[in-house]
Amino acid sequence: MSQIKGPAIFLAQFVDNKPPFNSLEGICKWAADLGYKGIQIPTWEGFLIDLDKAAESKTYCDELKGTVENFGLAITELSTHLQGQLVAVNPAYDVQFDNFCPANIKGNSKARTEWAIDQVKKAIVASNHMGIDVHATFSGALMWHTMYPWPQRPSGLVEQGFKALAERWLSILDVAKDKGVDICYEIHPGEDLHDGITFEMFLEATNNHKAVNMLYDPSHFELQQLDYLAYIDHYHEFIKMFHVKDAEFNPTGKSGVYGGYQNWVNRPGRFRSLGDGHIDFTSIFSKLTQYGYDGWAVMEWECCLKSSEQGAAEGAPFIQQHLINVAGKQFDDFAGGDTDEQLNKTILGI
């Protein structure tokens, strides 16, 4: 069995305009001092990585890796969650998602899609330059507004939607396959890939493209009331990345999964800092280890109650405590012996 690496931290929620969170060196020192061994970099933050330069120059990537390694850290993965979201945006969400793209293409959905596709491709090339063979992203969504079907969905809409989604991603997937990088879609409400069934539909629409894989984050399954442990049994061969994020679901007589348009503090389903929610991480780490997952365990913090500083400080030891040092031998090896075919036949009575 392989061993999970960690602890690591996704930097997206910690970026700020104040030290130490406004420079690569500052945030690396902060993470290392807390006990993290790796950082997952959001590629839309220009002060952390120049994506254009990273796609063009392996030398730049080597220098970036060297800066991070000087703090005893590794770059675990690059993320294009925001850019991946923009690969596929239904017009109903144009105004909101325009905030994720450059000012000069706002209001131009075609240019926004082309920009997003180019961004993800550059991040894949940059990952290859860094010797990283997995990449985190979102799928985007053309059908999310039809998730609760009223009025009923027209016949063929879902099939046509996944075909269109796959068409937008195929050129990216081909680059990923060529570079030896697995694209790991975070399975997430708000995305067309939000559970196992939708992942399978997308996989089929891409003709089972070898680069299609997933980022496993149990918090999104807790909020959907999906069995996040059985999910690993079904999809472990596709799980190439892991966000360690906690959540809780406390339905009331007034509100359930959909949340009643309430803010995060008042929703029945809400994200929590590690150890404060309902997720059974002991079982998750055991299952992932059992199936040979050898990627990073990356903390993602999105708690609506606890401060990010406290959540980060508690996250590294929490992950460290859940990492499993894989056994080098069976507990009952002492009672075994060398292979003896004749002895085996005697025991079997043959």
* Tens of pLDDT, residues 180-212: 999 999 999 999 999 999 999 999 999 999 999
Whether pLDDT at 150 is above 70: yes
| Centroid of chain to Cα 24 | 21
CB under 8 Å to 155, separation ≥6 — which residues? none
Whether pLDDT at 330 is above 80: no
The DSSP secondary-structure symbol of 87 reads T
Q: How far apart are CA 35 and CA 22, in angstroms?
A: 20
202 and 175 Cβ atoms separated by less than 8 Å? no
DSSP secondary structure string, 193-226? --SHHHHHHHHHHTTS-TTEEEEE-HHHHHHHT-
* Tens of pLDDT, residues 14-36: 999 999 999 999 999 999 999 99
What value does the mean pLDDT take over residues 51-67?
A: 98
pLDDT band, very low/low/confident/very high, at 338 (cuts 50, 70, 90):
confident
Q: Domains (ranges, CATH) in the chain?
A: 5-348 (3.20.20.150)
Measured CA distances, 148 to 40, 61, 82, 112, 153 (Å): 34, 44, 24, 27, 9
Q: How far apart are CA 92 and CA 311, in angstroms?
A: 34
- Minimal CA–CA distance to 162: which of 203, 194, 190? 203
For residue 134, the SS3 value is strand
pLDDT band, very low/low/confident/very high, at 297 (cuts 50, 70, 90):
very high
What pLDDT score does 237 carry?
98
Whether pLDDT at 136 is above 90: yes
Rounded to a whole number of angstroms, the distance between the first and last alpha carbons of the chain is 34
Q: How far apart are CA 20 and CA 18, in angstroms?
A: 6
Instruction: Provide the pairing of β-strand 239-244 with 212-216.
Output: parallel
- Minimal CA–CA distance to 245: which of 214, 287, 276? 276
126 and 49 Cβ atoms separated by less than 8 Å? yes
What global pTM score does this model have? 0.95
* Tens of pLDDT, residues 228-271: 999 999 999 999 999 999 999 999 999 999 999 999 999 999 99
What pLDDT score does 1 carry?
64
Q: Residue 91: which H helix or E strand, with range?
A: none
Report the mean per-residue pLDDT for the chain: 96
What pLDDT score does 281 carry?
98
The amino acid at 97: F
For residue 89, the SS3 value is strand
pLDDT band, very low/low/confident/very high, at 339 (cuts 50, 70, 90):
confident
The count of C-alpha atoms lying within 13 angstroms of the C-alpha of 348, restricted to the half-sphere facing its C-beta, is 7
294 and 6 Cβ atoms separated by less than 8 Å? no
The count of C-alpha atoms lying within 13 angstroms of the C-alpha of 180, restricted to the half-sphere facing its C-beta, is 6
* Tens of pLDDT, residues 61-107: 999 999 999 999 999 999 999 999 999 999 999 999 999 999 999 99
pLDDT band, very low/low/confident/very high, at 283 (cuts 50, 70, 90):
very high
For residue 159, the SS3 value is helix
- Minimal CA–CA distance to 118: which of 94, 133, 102? 102
What pLDDT score does 331 carry?
64
pLDDT band, very low/low/confident/very high, at 334 (cuts 50, 70, 90):
low
Q: How far apart are CA 81 and CA 156, in angstroms?
A: 28
What value does the mean pLDDT take over residues 97-123?
A: 97
What pLDDT score does 245 carry?
98
- Minimal CA–CA distance to 63: which of 77, 76, 52, 49? 49
What value does the mean pLDDT take over residues 143-154?
A: 95
